[in-house]
Amino acid sequence: MNVLGQLAEIVGGEMIITGVAEMASATEDWRGRYHGAALCVTRPADTTQVSEIVACCHRHGVPVLPQGGNTGLVGGSVPASTGVAPVIVSLDRMRRIRSVDPVNSTIEVEAGCVLANVHDAAKSANRFYPVSLGSEGSCQIGGTIATNAGGTSVLRYGTTRDNVLGLEVVLPDGTIWSGLTGLRKNNTGYDLKHLFIGSEGTLGIITAAVLKLHPFPARTAVAWAGLDCPEDALKMLTLIQGTYGAKLSGFELMNRLQLDLVVKHVPQRRSPIETEHDWHLLIELSDSGGEGDLDEALQAVLEKGFSAELVANAVIAASEAQRAALWEVRHSVSEANKKAGVGLTTDCAVPVSATADFISKATENVHAIAPAASVVVVGHVGDGNIHFIPFFTFDAWNGLAERDALSLRIRHAVNDVAAALGGTFSAEHGVGQVQLAEMDRYKQPAELALMRVVKAAIDPKGLFNPGRLLPNT
C-alpha cells in the first residue's frame, strides 16, 4: 500500500485532503506570498495518530510539515516551492483543554487549541495566560510554542518560552516523548523542552503542553498618547517604570503612518486621538487587586509626561469597551498592512535604550537604497522589539525591477543596524524561509554548527520542515 493509503488507514480517508483547491488554505501563507505543493493534509485526532503518521512518513522518507493556525509571518508554515511535496500534519482537531490546576497555576492543553480559547479557559479559573498576539483568534498553542511567539505582554510576563513548563512531542521517527510536567523546578540534566520551543517544526510535532498561569489581572488601565519622537517614548518608559514598574503590562509604539493605515483599511477602527502626532503610544497598567485606582495612577504619570513635554496629547479609556477598542487598533496593524500594500516586515530587537537610535539609522539606510519606500514602524518598544517596515503601495512595488534582490538589500540594511547595536534580526517571528539568508549573515559559525548537530541527532533523515530555520537543510 502506498503512503496515502497507509495514512488513510491511520486517520480515516475523510481526514486526508489531497485536492489542490481543498488544500489551498494550508499551502499558502497568511499574507498570500508563499506557496508550495503538498502530498496531502492530514488531520489526526490524537497523539497516537500523530505518532503513526510520522512513523509512516519516516518509513517512506516523506517530508513532514507540522501546521498550526498558519498565521506565521516568515513563510515557515507552508511547503517550499521546490523539493519533495510534504505531508502537512494539521493539529486543528487536537484542541482539548485537558485540565486546569488553579493551585499549581497550570493548564494542560492539546497543541491545536486556539490561543484565545486558552485565555478563556484560564479566565474561567480566575487565572491568566499572558501570551497575547493580534492573531490570537486563529493561531494555535503548538504554533506559538514552535515559534516562541512574543506579543504585547513580554515586558511583564516574558515570551512563550517563559510560560511553558512541559511538552509532549512526537519525534521524527514517531517516538512519543512525554515531558508534560507542571514543575517549576527540575534539575535532572538538559531541559529538552527548550530544544522544541522555537524549533519551527524542524525537530518534531508538539502535541500537547503544560503552560504556566498567572493571577488574573482584574484591574486594568489603558491610555493612548501622542508624542513627537521615539526618544520621548523611552523617557516615558523610564518614568513609568520608576513609579509603577511592576504594574506596567503593555507599552506599544507606532508611527503616524501605521495608525493612518489602520484607520483607513480596517473597518470600525478610529484614531483614539488626533493623528497629527508623529508617534503614538499605547500604555497599559494592570494588577490582580490591591490599593489605589489604576486610572488615577495612569493619569498621574501622564501628567508628569505633559509637564516634562514628553507627551503632547493623551486619552485614558473610561470603560472595558474603550480599553478593548484601544487594543483593537494595535492588534489590527498586520491586517491593515496586508490590505494597504507590500510591507517588508522586519522583526529586530535591540536593547531598549537603543530603539530610538535603531529607528533613525534604519530609516536613513532604507531611504538611501529605496527612496520610494515609506517607513511604517510598530513595535513592542517596552521589550526592544521594533517591526520596522519599509512599505510600498502595490503599484510602486509592481513597478520595481529585481524585487527579490531589492528586498534582500533592504532587509540587510535594517538588520545590519540592529546587529551593530547588539540586537537580533528575529525577535519573535522566527526564521522560516524569509530570514534564512540572515542566519548565515549574522549567526556565528559555531552556533550554526551546533544547531546542525542537534538537527542531525533528532532528525537524521532531514524530513522535518526541510529548508526552514537552518540554511541548506
Q: Which residues contribute to the site for ligand FAD (CB under 6 A)?
A: 30, 65-73, 76-77, 91, 111, 133-135, 139-140, 142-144, 146-147, 149-151, 200-201, 205-206, 334-335, 428-429, 465, 468
Distance (Å, rounded) from C-alpha 290 to C-alpha 293?
9
Positive or negative, the Cα torsion across 237, 280, 135, 25? negative
Distance (Å, rounded) from C-alpha 251 to C-alpha 296?
18
- Residue with Cβ nearer ligand FAD (122 or 378): 378
CB of residue 411 to ligand FAD, shortest distance in Å = 17
CB of residue 163 to ligand FAD, shortest distance in Å = 13
CB of residue 23 to ligand FAD, shortest distance in Å = 14
Residue 108 in contact with residue 210, Cβ under 8 Å? yes
- Residue with Cβ nearer ligand FAD (49 or 67): 67
DSSP states of 374-422 as a string? EEEEEEEGGGTEEEEEEEE-HHHHHT-SSHHHHHHHHHHHHHHHHHHTT
- Residue with Cβ nearer ligand FAD (47 or 286): 47
Residue 251 in contact with residue 237, Cβ under 8 Å? yes
Residue nearest to ligand FAD (CB): 143
Give which of 18, 147, 71 is closest to 429, Cα–Cα.
147
- Residue with Cβ nearer ligand FAD (226 or 466): 466
CB of residue 279 to ligand FAD, shortest distance in Å = 19
CB of residue 242 to ligand FAD, shortest distance in Å = 27
- Residue with Cβ nearer ligand FAD (158 or 295): 158
CB of residue 178 to ligand FAD, shortest distance in Å = 15
CB of residue 458 to ligand FAD, shortest distance in Å = 12
Q: Report the interhelical angle of 355-369 vs 230-244 (nearest 10°).
A: 160
- Output the nine-digit C-alpha cell for 122: 484560564
- Residue with Cβ nearer ligand FAD (255 or 334): 334
DSSP conformation class of 202? S
- Residue with Cβ nearer ligand FAD (80 or 91): 91
- Residue with Cβ nearer ligand FAD (52 or 232): 52
DSSP conformation class of 175? P
Neighbours of 121 (CB within 10 A): 18
For 188, residues 6+ apart whose C-beta sits below 8 A from its C-beta are none
**Element containing residue 8 per DSSP (H, E):** helix 3-11
CB of residue 310 to ligand FAD, shortest distance in Å = 25
For 423, residues 6+ apart whose C-beta sits below 8 A from its C-beta are 348, 349, 350, 351, 354, 358, 384
- Output the nine-digit C-alpha cell for 378: 510598530
Positive or negative, the Cα torsion across 125, 127, 131, 132? positive
- Residue with Cβ nearer ligand FAD (30 or 392): 30
DSSP conformation class of 433? T
Distance (Å, rounded) from C-alpha 109 to C-alpha 106?
10
CB of residue 30 to ligand FAD, shortest distance in Å = 5
CB of residue 289 to ligand FAD, shortest distance in Å = 28
- Residue with Cβ nearer ligand FAD (167 or 310): 167
Neighbours of 437 (CB within 10 A): 16
